Amino acid sequence: MIHIKQGSLGGAFVKDPDTTVIVRSISDLIKIGNVTLRELIEARLGIEKVILEFAMMRINKEDLHLLKNNIEESERKFLKGERATDEHINFHILIAKSTKNLLFEMMIESIMNVTKSFLLSLKPDVKYINNVLTYHKRIYEALQEKNLHMAEQIMEKHLLDINRKFKELAKL
């Protein structure tokens, strides 16, 4: 994974990383560390705001198209009464991919794997899932408009709402 090149232009370089292995390793470390819901949400708040900054600078039409398709698929599932858990998780990964920064992508994918574990164990109702879709639509619109401030505000409200809902479900 690390390649050392000798000479004046040498140094240590990452060579063809297998991101699946890296993401799984980070996810496992987070799970083994018994990460609390509060810690997970705090990490997401910090990391996703930074990701939004870079996404605003680098997002292109193809990235926006992928996000729109993700939202449309989530809507289709909601209308059928199905959960769109994978689509909701992937929405955040797609934003990270739009930064064109592999580390952001791997970090958010790892964190979202842990988030998915919480989601699957707590099983929020379909009405709440639709609420998530509303946030995603608004974040998408802010990305389209290149409005970082709006995107960050909506993301923060979204994540705090997730935190509230997860706490509520965990007490049941």
CA distance 59 to 52: 10
Question: Can you give the pLDDT at residue 9?
Answer: 60
* Residue 82 pLDDT: 87
Confidence bin at 50 (pLDDT 50/70/90):
very high
CA distances from 160 to 47, 84, 155 (A): 14, 20, 9
pTM over 0.85: no
Q: Which domains does the chain have, with CATH numbers?
A: 18-171 (1.20.120.530)
79-99 pLDDT, tens digit per residue, is 998 888 899 999 999 999 999
